[in-house]
Structure 1
């Protein structure tokens, strides 16, 4: 009986063709829409200052519950949900003026009479909102996929096609690449170059905890006879292994940066080279159809898709190189070209257009005519994930520019404190301990699946379990943030 249920679960959590790119975009648009409403409520009404119990509840409903609804009961009508969020935001924005917080002037000390030096890489609220929303979607999806209320077209695709969960995996890697660019930018600013051996040693320190988590997940899944889909990563491989092997390979590619000073170009070279290997050799057939006879063939999906994920990570680093630095002020007499060159939003829009054009070329009949495959992590998958995430960053940046226009122009280091008031506390907390919360969410997912026959749970009960689950993850995130605890894995 248990084996029959396990087989049914393995078949249930996969799908054959996925959903359309347009539908995925509509569903994921809910996150920028809810952040827009949150930002309008904060900039116009200061609803989240102070951050009391009602503020926490509204924050949760906007940035967690709305995303849960978008992937479940509103999955067939994502545009309606977006309208229900955007229309109140537009009304409040148009009918209310921005509020200003009047604070008593602080007397300057002797050494403060000189103009303060602005922080070159300040905390960017729109990046925090982007990463926090992505983590919320990921945590919701890894459990929701086990319930029938979660549409099968959102589950990971078997071989070819696009789905919400396929995008989630790639977005996790891309966002990690974005924040990793901070250390590179600091080295460039200080004109410091770390030798490759030292970079490899440092990267191994980041890799070891992730690899340990990978082995823990491997032995727990096999020991508990937990339902899994082999074609996702292979028999033994899992996502923690992919994350764990990224740092040393990124350190090697950092050495190539001297020869090719563009992470975007490096990611494209790797992505196109991997696709050429798939198409011009028997590698594609090996990954899709070979019998699982040895360690390599048993884990071929995870091993070879790693090159696609490495391309995505490098593309994320490329985005981080122009997203993380402080936006430089523009002189009054500057030309429109100079203004656009210094605008983070304009650069994000330009790169979104470029990556989208490459994606269309790779998949169109008059281009390369390829199909997206998360299983292979091929060129179209790499370009799709990169274009999507640049577009998401552009949307979050546009919301910040609209509601908090002075944040990116401020030169006073104290302005970074205002950035916290311009960011959802829940999304800030998720971003602060993202990997630890992702691990906790995986443990809760396993606990629910071991105690609840998720395939047979009715719709109302499913929503109750999912709301309780994301409330627990959210509660832990807020508790860690309240205690100023940052868990680095």
Structure 2
């Protein structure tokens, strides 16, 4: 009996789960645009209705037990409302309401300007220009939105309730999950040390700063092999994963130091050269099943796509510098910055459509030029919608945003651990729609509450 238990595989449905996320073609660019409208619109509407989150101030003014308890209740009540009005609707749209995504997007697009016209302009005119929320607050909201959607999708993709067109495409095409990888790169680039023109870090210090990413990359390899977890080889290769990609980008940026003024041009040149290489045959090699014994061939998708992600990162650094850091440029008012963000969003979307139609279809697997432009278009679309929050006065970011922003990496790691535990303990492929939705609800609720508890207690996960 004991021998039988030892022989039982930890993940008996591994092959079925790998097939479940293989050979997919993604969704349309229009649907990606619709989904990218819904998420930030929900955040904006919640900000306008959240009122004043002053739990910290009350705690400072009162030292007795009762007010502190009241603040604890106030904090987690606000966090619960954030969950019910932001996270749960996103979960619904990505699962049971997936066929209504355009209706949901159009409804929110109509609702936001109505709200602004009713309440926004009056409060906007009363507020002094320098007291309006800065774009830094919008950047923070945008980064949290990226993490939230990513954490939700990494588990949802294993259930049938999650539309297959939202999952990662096999070769060409793009599901909403394909954009998570690039979104992390862009989100990091916009607020990076390079974008802030901080060049004091030595190469040794740079290596030390990426050591957590390298550790996490190897930890993922060991853990997935140890529990026989499903891994789609066509995504990055046999051993590669996204932590290694992030580490490689950081190493390259540390070795080749470029002033943020010129990062955009260098990034475009790298992408152009890489795209030419792809068009002359590299793309056929990368999407083929050919794998030799050497380490590069075994991980060809992850290794070669570094060029695309590095170009993407450098463009993000340049945009972060010009939009949010460079104090010498004229037109630094919030309104001017907001217009620039909207123009950039539209421009990137147009470039993505043109490149996808006439050069090469979008491919996250190769990180080609069309994919990079799509990532920037989608990310700046999210950011541009979040800037609308400034048209109506609000006090602070959401409690949910503060919680995830303080422990972004920690929240992502927790989501990966919870995803692994669910997959090893539940037959996700056989789960009914109701069971899947309940599991997803408990998962996202747990993630939000743990992040909130860490934030409330002042805990911050930092590796270096």
TM-score w.r.t. the length of structure 2 is 0.85
**Where does the alignment leave 5 or more consecutive residues of structure 1 unmatched?**
101-117, 188-192, 331-337, 405-417
Residue 464 of structure 1 corresponds to 438
1:63-74 equivalences under 5 Å are: 63-74=86-97
Residue 266 of structure 2 corresponds to 266
Structure 2 contact 406–455 (Cα < 8 Å) conserved: yes
2:344 to 334, 342, 351: 351
Residue 388 of structure 1 corresponds to 378
Structure 1 contact 47–55 (Cα < 8 Å) conserved: no
Residue 109 of structure 1 corresponds to none
- Tell me, yes or no, if structure 1 residue 229 matches structure 2 residue 232: yes
1:448 to 411, 422, 444: 422
Deviation at 1:276, TM superposition (A): 1.3
Residue 61 of structure 2 corresponds to none
**Where does the alignment leave 5 or more consecutive residues of structure 2 unmatched?**
1-7, 56-73, 125-129
Deviation at 1:472, TM superposition (A): 1.2
Residue 170 of structure 2 corresponds to 158
TM-score w.r.t. the length of structure 1 is 0.80
Deviation at 1:227, TM superposition (A): 1.0
Distance 2:329 2:49 in 1: 27
Structure 1 contact 15–156 (Cα < 8 Å) conserved: no
Higher RCO (Cα < 8 Å, 6 or more apart): 2
1:371 to 341, 358, 361: 361
Q: Structure 1 residues 252, 466: CA separation in 2 closer, same or farther (over 3 Å shift)? A: same
Bigger drift between 221-230 and 352-361 goes to 352-361
Q: Structure 1 residues 478, 363: CA separation in 2 closer, same or farther (over 3 Å shift)? A: same
Q: Judging by fraction of residues, say which structure has more helix.
A: 2
Deviation at 1:271, TM superposition (A): 0.8
Structure 2 contact 26–165 (Cα < 8 Å) conserved: yes
Q: Deviations over 1:5-47 (max 9, x none)?
A: 21111010234211001101111211111122112213xxx26
Deviation at 1:275, TM superposition (A): 1.0
How many residues are aligned here? 429
Q: Structure 1 residues 272, 61: CA separation in 2 closer, same or farther (over 3 Å shift)? A: same
Bigger drift between 321-330 and 24-33 goes to 321-330
- Tell me, yes or no, if structure 1 residue 38 matches structure 2 residue 49: no
Distance 1:202 1:339 in 2: 33
Structure 1 contact 327–343 (Cα < 8 Å) conserved: no
Q: Structure 1 residues 244, 314: CA separation in 2 closer, same or farther (over 3 Å shift)? A: same
Bigger drift between 51-60 and 214-223 goes to 51-60
Residue 220 of structure 1 corresponds to 223
Q: Structure 1 residues 83, 390: CA separation in 2 closer, same or farther (over 3 Å shift)? A: closer
RMSD: 2.9
Residue 136 of structure 1 corresponds to 148
